[in-house]
């Protein structure tokens, strides 16, 4: 029986070949003349002749002429669009070979096209000029990079002389780092974006853990004035031994960028033959936490840490050695306030009877801000804070309890991702996935008064195609919005737009093309002709440029 198996297999194979030959023969007899796309509309004999727009950049309201072919047949039944916004046709100057139209007032840079009898014919790109432009004098070339992973810039901090510090996940900046001396998560740029080390010596920067800096806060007044608090995910700073943990996600830097440190003598040394371990260098700011620090704030000689952590950690120096550190741990969930020597302030967010913090948020804190009076406002995915209802936003009293006087009412019905406060306008702007805020329809953006109440004159339109992940208000009241969306109301806005303080699109400031990426922070500088805004984040593309995570825009008056 077994010997017949190969024979039967050959018979089956021969049969399959014959069957295939039969079907192929039948196909050849019928011929290869069937059109798989038969039944569709016949293409209209209409096309663009012009490949570019002259002039290269036009403004809203300008009259533009392009060359076409075959338009007369559809002269009474066609429409023109600029980046999905219908344009007014100048009929007196339009004929079979010439199309004249006005650039729509709310159009942004993008393709133009004609629609006729249900068909679309795409033409050249219309570059719309206006009051918003990418600053050609911005000298960031390669920006923040990382040889091993993400290169996001999370924070930017202005310096008194006009320079800036930037913090993030990068290990190189403008390709100035080396393998032996990387630029670890913190760098200085001049006012024009040029990378500079003048006055600063960060060394290798942040090392260990995530090797990133989320937040940089300059201490403006008091005993430590001129120094910096940095928070993020790191266990060392400018260390030749990054695996030797000496920090816990927070540090204080001197005014020149070096670690504010103490040299210890007569340290416990279990290995006396290694004499260099008789001493140690540790952080003078003896404070840390066991998880990521998202935001740092300084107020009245105290430091606030906010993030995704469970315990406050303070090194117990008498029992610590060069290789092994001993810590005092206190359960402090999501936020803690410490003094300038790093000791924990037990009057904030702490229950002395249970010797730990209150329960905090029942979700993740995504962003935070501090008002001028020192009160914190937290936003995120949570719906309660310390057991009290707080729908995605809460203001904190000076003792860490929920501030019930914050007039947000029912809050947001979904996550708040971004919050910023503008001291000039005295307004708070929030962005996220919510569709209502304290009973008011709000499609991912809302403007609040300083007390948390809705600004009744702000009425935004519906965001579709994604979400608003960053919002920030300028001193003139206009609001920058970025995210993954593609429409605001009926208008195409590809991830970036500028709104008036009433929620309407700002005419003349929405001329840019597509945006890709995520913005995390911004800083505004007044100029003689308007204002300049530096945006940092994970910024991949803006209006055809590649910003490398740092972008400067000009806003003309």
| Predicted model pTM | 0.86
User: 157: which 2 tokens?
Assistant: 């901090």
Three-state secondary structure readout of 244-312? CCCCCCEEEECCCCCECEEEECCCECCCCCCHHHHCEEEECCCCEECCEEEEEEEECCEEEEEEECCEE
**What is residue 35's predicted lDDT score, i.e. its pLDDT?**
56
Per-residue pLDDT reduced to its tens digit, 374-408: 999 999 999 999 999 999 999 999 999 999 999 99
Q: What number is the average pLDDT over the span 122-145?
A: 94
Reported confidence tier of residue 89, pLDDT bands at 50, 70, 90: very high
Q: Which residues contact 308 (CB under 8 A, 6 or more apart)?
A: 291, 292, 294, 334, 364, 365
| Averaged pLDDT of the chain | 92
Query: Is 231 in contact with 213 (CB distance < 8 Å)?
Result: yes
What structural domains does the chain harbor? 47-129 (2.60.40.10), 358-512 (2.130.10.10)
Reported confidence tier of residue 280, pLDDT bands at 50, 70, 90: confident
**What is residue 240's predicted lDDT score, i.e. its pLDDT?**
82
Per-residue pLDDT reduced to its tens digit, 246-255: 899 999 999 9
Number of H helices, E strands in the chain: 1, 46
Nearest residue to 76 (alpha-carbon basis) of 63, 94, 64: 94
Rounded to whole angstroms, how far apart are CA atoms 378 and 104?
A: 40
**What is residue 13's predicted lDDT score, i.e. its pLDDT?**
41
243 compared with 288, residue with greater pLDDT: 288
Q: How far is CA 279 from CA 131, 239, 511, in A?
A: 60, 16, 61
Reported confidence tier of residue 242, pLDDT bands at 50, 70, 90: low
Rounded to whole angstroms, how far apart are CA atoms 234 and 249?
A: 5
Q: What number is the average pLDDT over the span 53-71?
A: 94
Radius of gyration (Cα) for the chain, nearest Å? Answer: 31
435 compared with 11, residue with greater pLDDT: 435
Q: What number is the average pLDDT over the span 117-138?
A: 93
Q: Is the pLDDT of residue 25 over 60?
A: no
**What is residue 7's predicted lDDT score, i.e. its pLDDT?**
41
Strands 78-82 and 85-89 turn out to be: antiparallel
**What is residue 451's predicted lDDT score, i.e. its pLDDT?**
97
Reported confidence tier of residue 95, pLDDT bands at 50, 70, 90: very high
């Amino acid at each position: 029986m077994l010997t017949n198996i190969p024979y039967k297999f050959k018979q089956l194979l021969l049969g399959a070949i014959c069957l295939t030959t039969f079907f192929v023969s039948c196909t050849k007899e019928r011929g290869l003349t069937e059109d798989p796309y038969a039944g569709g509309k016949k293409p209209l004999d209409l096309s663009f002749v012009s490949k570019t727009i002259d002039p290269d950049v036009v403004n809203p309201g300008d009259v533009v002429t392009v060359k076409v072919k075959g338009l007369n047949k559809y002269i009474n039944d066609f429409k023109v669009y600029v980046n999905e916004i219908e344009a007014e046709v100048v009929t007196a100057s339009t004929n079979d070979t010439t199309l004249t139209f006005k650039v729509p007032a709310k159009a942004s840079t993008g393709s133009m096209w004609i629609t006729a009898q249900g068909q679309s014919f795409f033409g050249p790109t219309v570059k719309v000029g206006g009051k918003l432009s990418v600053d050609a004098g911005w000298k960031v070339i390669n920006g923040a990079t990382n040889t091993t992973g993400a290169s996001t810039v999370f924070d930017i901090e202005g310096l008194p002389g006009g320079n800036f510090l930037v913090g993030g996940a990068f290990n190189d900046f403008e390709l100035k780092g080396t393998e032996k001396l990387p630029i670890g998560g913190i760098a200085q740029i001049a006012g024009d974006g040029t990378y500079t080390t003048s006055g600063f010596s960060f060394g290798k920067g942040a090392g260990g853990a995530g090797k990133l800096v989320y937040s940089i806060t300059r201490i403006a007044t008091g005993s430590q004035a001129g120094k910096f608090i940095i928070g993020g995910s790191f266990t060392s700073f400018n260390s030749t031994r990054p695996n030797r943990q000496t920090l816990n996600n927070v540090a204080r830097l001197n005014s020149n960028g070096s670690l504010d440190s103490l040299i210890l003598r007569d340290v416990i040394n279990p290995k006396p033959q290694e004499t260099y371990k008789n001493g140690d260098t540790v952080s003078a700011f003896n404070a840390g936490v066991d998880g990521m620090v998202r935001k740092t704030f300084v107020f009245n000689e105290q430091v606030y840490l906010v993030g995704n952590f469970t315990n406050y950690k303070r090194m117990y120096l008498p029992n610590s050695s060069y290789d092994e550190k001993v810590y005092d741990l206190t359960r402090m969930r999501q936020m803690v306030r410490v003094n300038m020597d790093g000791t924990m302030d037990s009057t904030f967010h702490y229950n002395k009877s249970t010797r730990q913090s209150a329960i905090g948020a029942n979700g993740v804190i995504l962003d935070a801000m501090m008002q001028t009076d020192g009160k914190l406002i937290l936003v995120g995915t949570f719906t309660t804070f310390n057991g009290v209802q707080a729908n995605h936003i809460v203001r904190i009293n000076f003792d860490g309890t929920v501030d019930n006087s914050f007039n947000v009412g029912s809050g947001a019905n979904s996550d708040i991702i971004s919050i910023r406060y503008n001291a000039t306008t005295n307004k708070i702007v929030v962005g996220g996935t919510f569709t209502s805020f304290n009973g008011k329809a709000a499609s991912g953006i809302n403007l609040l008064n300083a007390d948390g109440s809705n600004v009744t004159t702000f009425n935004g339109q519906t965001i579709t195609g994604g979400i608003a992940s960053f919002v920030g208000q300028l001193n003139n009241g206009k609001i920058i919005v970025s995210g993954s969306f593609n429409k605001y109301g009926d208008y195409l806005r590809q991830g970036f737009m500028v709104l008036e303080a009433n929620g309407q699109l700002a005419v003349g400031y929405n001329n840019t093309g597509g945006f890709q990426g995520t913005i995390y922070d911004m800083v505004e500088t007044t100029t003689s002709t308007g204002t300049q805004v530096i945006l940092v984040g994970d910024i991949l593309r803006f209006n055809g440029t590649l910003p490398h995570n740092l972008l400067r825009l000009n806003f003309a008056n």
